Amino acid sequence: MIAGLLAALTFTPLQAADESVSRALAGADLLAGTLRDAANNKLDFSGNKTFTADQLRAPIAEQIREVQEKGLTPARADDAAYYVGAFYRKAGFSQVSVEYEIRGGRLLIKIAEGPRSLLRSVTFAGNTAIPTATLFDYMIGATPERLAKEHDQFPYTAAEVGGGADRVRGLYLSEGYLNVVIDSTGVQLAENGTRADVTIRITEGVRYTFGEISFAGDTLFPREQLVKALGQTVSGPFSPGQATAMQRNLQSFFKAHGYYQAEVALAADPLTAVAGKVPVLFTIRSYGLFHFDGATVRNETSRARLRDDFLPKRFAHLKGAVYDPERLDETFREMLRSGLFESLRVTPTPLGGDLVRLDFTYAEAKAKELGFNLGFSSYEGAVAGFRIGDRDLFGRGRPLSFAAQYTQRGISGELLYVDPWVFDSRFALRVRLYSEARREEGYTKNAIGFRTDLSRKLLPHLELGAFVEAQNVTVTDHTIDLAQIGPLSYTLQSVGLTQSTDFRNDPVNPARGFILTSAVDFATLDNQPAFTRATARFSYYRPLGKCLLALGARGGYIAPLIDDLPIGVRFFNGGGTTVRSFAERELGARDAQGHPLGGDLFTVFNAELTFPLYGELQGAVFTDAGSLKNRNVPGSGDLRYGIGAGLRYKLPIGPLRLDYGVNPTRRDHEDFGAFHFSFGFAF
């Protein structure tokens, strides 16, 4: 992947892009018109001392827009005055008075601010179960110390005090104090109404806890499994909300096991409590085991392209299976990720007997796509390219795209066809035709070829695949010695197997989990057996508070069956995604002129800790290690190291990275370190 800063990181449907621009320009014109009219004294304020006219226009932006679009009426003027008053009261002006007057085509909002009341103190009385500091946090979202130092940040309003009291009440209820009484009427205004002292009186009452948990009716499963299905702790404080959550979880458990119409009744009355322990009874009616039937579709797109049988075929593998919401959701999310739908809804409908039909309603997304990218990376230099495609080829939901890209190292192009459901099966097909002309360190090459991958996801996190690849390569110019560069013109064919075990929470911006991938292939050179190759990668991500720890290990080995491996199939090491104390491809054996020769055995080990700096900007520290052995170069293959730091800027499609790695065991011909500017995760 060519790393770089992308100016347009995703494709945009051509028609949708035009419509979006038009809507944006229309919105901008409307806003500009509103502001111009306000500036021309269509709206005036009088009596405002604390806030400027511009500050007062912000909370009534919608009312201003209505006046501009539909005209000035007493009702709209009254709305504007009301929201100005609400803004003042929220800022602590509890005695504010706001009136309006219409003068011709202008609106005058007249304000009598009155004193501004600030919260001076909050006192809690009667709390024994919950610390005062915790109650402060729920009441005003701050500590007593901050309130004492920053009065201006805490305006007093009756609504805010009432809201804080409700939050305190909710805390007590969650802790089992069902009869708690919170009295927030103890308010004393001082200094001409500008300071408020609030006293919250609490009568805690009895604390209730969960008593015996019982199940009745169609229990069907062992008690231990039913208790686990509740999804909540069955000891500790009792609250109606927690009991209701248990009821929902238990019902979902039965539906997830095929009992689509299962009902769970809850009986948990605190009046029946003994010594504060509330007995809880769940009564279950299963109504029999349901199975998936077929699917119906309703396309709400005005000019539909997608075939009516597309969605029924995608869900055909569920037909006859026991109803399982998780399996349904897995395929549903796969459809959303396809990009074919602007909206997609599914409604399971029970039929006669034990069948559930899936009824889909959807609107298609724009199928035609055009995207551009501009950027820069340390090794590739300037990057520019475009991609054009159709996500719904012939109405069958299969994407076809063509992409071309220029970098300072060459030009490339590819035609890509993807069939995620080849022959309407659960297998995925990917066919890629490509061509490139590149200048590497010490040689240039032209290549043309194709690769076909066939894969199948056997489990939600496990995918196996097989591939066939063929390419014709010609080295057009070289300064590396002929004895070290290998064949200059050849046809390479290879067949191989791949596997991917992916437990990351996000394949683009992982924050936890791991991925393990591996591949093995056998290759021929000009129809003669040439080598067997194997590669593997493991990456692990773990959050540490607001930081992220990432660990990685990679390796590869080529077992040659010929004397000279082409330089284009060898492994290289060093660079922004491997050992970052070396420039790209510069770890390992070199020729007399310093050109990298590559090798047949490599390892890479990485550890990186990223931490927040400001907003989306992050810092990083890392350590890398790796080796590259060339069997024709004696003494190659020793482990080399790198330590360094970098910056990350988080984007929705991956981080923009700037790293500097230091070489702690630098040799005579090596640099002190290397800068790397690239895009995406390093490993």
- The vertex-532 CA angle with 528 and 535, nearest 5°, equals 150
SS3 assignment, position 306: coil
- Residue numbers of the chain with a pLDDT score lower than 70: 1-41
How many other CB atoms are found less than 10 A from the CB of residue 645?
13
SS3 assignment, position 583: coil
The number of CA neighbours under 13 Å toward the Cβ of 421 is 17
Crossing angle of helices 240-256 and 325-337, in 10° steps, is: 80
| H or E segment to which residue 394 belongs | none
Sign for the pseudo-dihedral over CA of 46, 48, 52, 57: negative
State how far Cα 111 lies from the chain centre: 46
Q: What is the pLDDT of residue 191?
A: 86
Q: What is the pLDDT of residue 15?
A: 34
> Residue 140 in contact with residue 122, Cβ under 8 Å?
yes
Token reading at 439: 């200048």
Q: What is the pLDDT of residue 193?
A: 80
Q: What is the pLDDT of residue 584?
A: 96
Short-list 87, 94, 199, 84, CA closest to 156:
94
Q: What is the pLDDT of residue 153?
A: 85
> Residue 476 in contact with residue 446, Cβ under 8 Å?
yes
Residues 7-46 pLDDT 10s: 333 333 333 333 333 333 333 344 344 444 443 347 999 9
Going along the chain from its start, the domains and CATH numbers come out as 118-203 (3.10.20.310), 209-285 (3.10.20.310), 291-364 (3.10.20.310), 409-679 (2.40.160.50)
How many other CB atoms are found less than 10 A from the CB of residue 531?
21
How are the residues of the chain apportioned to helix, strand and coil, as percentages rounded to the nearest 5?
25, 45, 30
How many other CB atoms are found less than 10 A from the CB of residue 190?
11
Listing DSSP states for 336-392 in one string gives HHTT-EEEEEEEEEE-SSSEEEEEEEEEEPP-EEEEEEEEEETTTEEEEEEEEEEEE
* Residue whose pair of structure tokens reads 């005062």 in the numeric block: 132
CA 52/CA 305 separation, integer angstroms: 54
Q: Which residues, listed in sequence order, are joined to residue 436 by a DSSP beta bridge?
A: 412, 447
Q: What is the pLDDT of residue 586?
A: 96
Sign for the pseudo-dihedral over CA of 587, 592, 598, 602: negative
> Residue 409 in contact with residue 403, Cβ under 8 Å?
no
Q: What is the pLDDT of residue 159?
A: 86
